[in-house]
Amino acid sequence: MKQNRIFPAVIALALMSGLMSCNIYKKYELPEGDTVINDYKKALEAPVDSTSLPYLGWEDIFTDPLLQDLIRLALNNNKDLDNARLNVDIARAQLKGAKLSYFPSLAISPNGGTASYGGSHMNWSYTIPAALNWEIDAFGKILNRKRGAEAGVQQAEAYKSAVRSQIVCGVASTYYALVLLNQQLELTKNTALIWKDQVESMKLMKEAGMVTAAGVAQSEANYYSILASIPDLEQQIHLTRTTLSLLLNTYPREWTVTSSLDFNIPKSIVESIPVSYLAARPDVAAAERSLATAYYTSNSARAAFYPSINISVQGGFTNLLGSIITNPGKWFIQLAGQLTAPIFSRGQNIATLQAAKASQQIALNNFQYSILNASAEVTDAMVKYNKNAEKQVQVEKQIESLEKSVDFTQELLTFNQSTTYLEVLTARSALLQAQLAGLGCWHARATALIELYQAVGGGR
């Protein structure tokens, strides 16, 4: 009868305390009032366009078959992505443990013993007990742990997506850097052959009295200068291949890349990026889930100020009844309820709550910065793409004019008209620099588009 009176009292106390602590049951919501976060909330509510840049698969952007093979190899082998997958597994295991906390624990601990005093007969005692303990989650302690673990899983999955995006775009960026270097090397070698012929022509023209020895020497110096740039390019190619090999988690080796300068460009590059694009970024999502985790950690710290309610049941088989040993043994069962309320914990609960609040504010600051940083990266990539597109148009016109200039000055020099070897050398040097600049513009545009694709959360 006493037990029948105890449990209603315990439950009533739990309900009263629960009413006073209802705020610890509140689910996480984005904070109000901040302009940046309000824009993000609107972005989350905006409809998703599966054909927009953030949601296009990397196969739709990087159509080069050689590059696609390398990206697939990286996604299969890269250790950073493998670690990100393992972090997701860890978070899911923690969530599973948090969910199982709602269930009672069951343990069995058989024991036995005997004793003799002054030569008395030794009687063996034994107990085969099973103990079941159940914590009633009246104050949201288990609930907040579970919700925090769920946010942790979502954060780990978002981080994995961010790593995947970095790997896809990292391989593409390194690949096109290697394409650029190969093109520069080929251009430089071809220019060196032209300059070699030019040196031979200058020597013949010197014998004919058309140019001086100084002109021949200057022509040779320019030829050797071009040859000297070839080892630098070959070294850069080797270093870039090594970087690509590390991304693919393989030993350094040569990689076959395209010789084409065609790059798959989306049909339209918009003048501005909607904020909804930023909501698709996995790193922004990871920062937002980190804030949710910190929120539930603060709630757990608040719940520590409230009582813990436990129901325990013990039962089993024993031959020890008090101080009397009987054979055979008998079955026993015990049922108890316990409420433990913290009164003085040497400031530990207060310190834990203060630390949790500070961590939550840090997570909020990081989340706000991640949104602003994402917006800056998108803007920078768009400006970089558009300005290099404008520059490339002018550089192509410059190359066309310089090609004509080289032809004209060479003809004038050949027919001993009003020109000098210096004008020929200047025209050829300017043409080489313009051609290299044209390759640089192409690579800058390709890099900017890769950066834009990553900045809006691409790489799926």
Q: What is the percent of the chain where pLDDT is above 90?
A: 17
The answer to whether 259 and 356 are in contact (CB under 8 A) is no
Instruction: Determine the pLDDT at residue 337.
Output: 77
Report helix angle 141-207 to 79-100, nearest 10.
170
Is the pLDDT at 73 greater than 90? The verdict is: yes
**Who has greater pLDDT, 15 or 389?**
389
Mean pLDDT of the chain: 82
Say how far apart CA 453 and CA 201 lie, in whole Å.
50
Give the confidence band of 120 by pLDDT, cuts at 50, 70, 90. Answer: low
Task: Decide which of 1.20.1600.10, 1.10.357.10, 2.40.110.10, 3.20.20.10 is the CATH code for 24-110+125-134+141-304+354-455.
Answer: 1.20.1600.10
Q: Average pLDDT in the 47-59 region?
A: 76
- For residue 312, what are its two tokens? 């325990």
Q: Average pLDDT in the 356-384 region?
A: 89
Give the confidence band of 52 by pLDDT, cuts at 50, 70, 90. Answer: confident
Virtual torsion, Cα 6, 8, 10, 13, nearest 10 deg: -140
The answer to whether 315 and 332 are in contact (CB under 8 A) is yes
Token pair 């990266």 is found at 377
Distance of CA 317 to the CA centre of its chain: 57
Instruction: Determine the pLDDT at residue 182.
Output: 92
- For residue 280, what are its two tokens? 């698709």
Is the pLDDT at 406 greater than 60? The verdict is: yes
Domains of the chain: which residue ranges? 24-110+125-134+141-304+354-455
Which residues make beta-bridge pairs with 111? 127
Instruction: Determine the pLDDT at residue 418.
Output: 56
Give the confidence band of 16 by pLDDT, cuts at 50, 70, 90. Answer: very low
Q: Does residue 292 sit in helix, strand or coil?
A: helix
Spatial CA neighbour of 137 closest among 147, 126, 127: 147
Instruction: Determine the pLDDT at residue 20.
Output: 47
Is the pLDDT at 287 greater than 80? The verdict is: yes
Give the confidence band of 2 by pLDDT, cuts at 50, 70, 90. Answer: very low
Token pair 């026993």 is found at 332
pTM for the whole structure: 0.78
Instruction: Determine the pLDDT at residue 333.
Output: 84
For 140-154, the pLDDT digits (tens) are: 888 888 989 999 999
Say how far apart CA 164 and CA 358 lie, in whole Å.
31
List the Cα angle 309/312/313 in 5-degree steps: 160
- Strand (E) or helix (H) holding 135: strand 125-136
Running DSSP on this structure, what letter comes out for residue 323? T
Instruction: Determine the pLDDT at residue 269.
Output: 54
DSSP E strand boundaries for 307-452: 308-321, 324-340
Say how far apart CA 458 and CA 460 lie, in whole Å.
6
Query: Between β-strands 308-321 and 324-340, what pairing exists: parallel, antiparallel or unpaired?
Result: antiparallel
Instruction: Determine the pLDDT at residue 133.
Output: 84
Give the confidence band of 362 by pLDDT, cuts at 50, 70, 90. Answer: very high
- Indicate the residue type of 159: Y
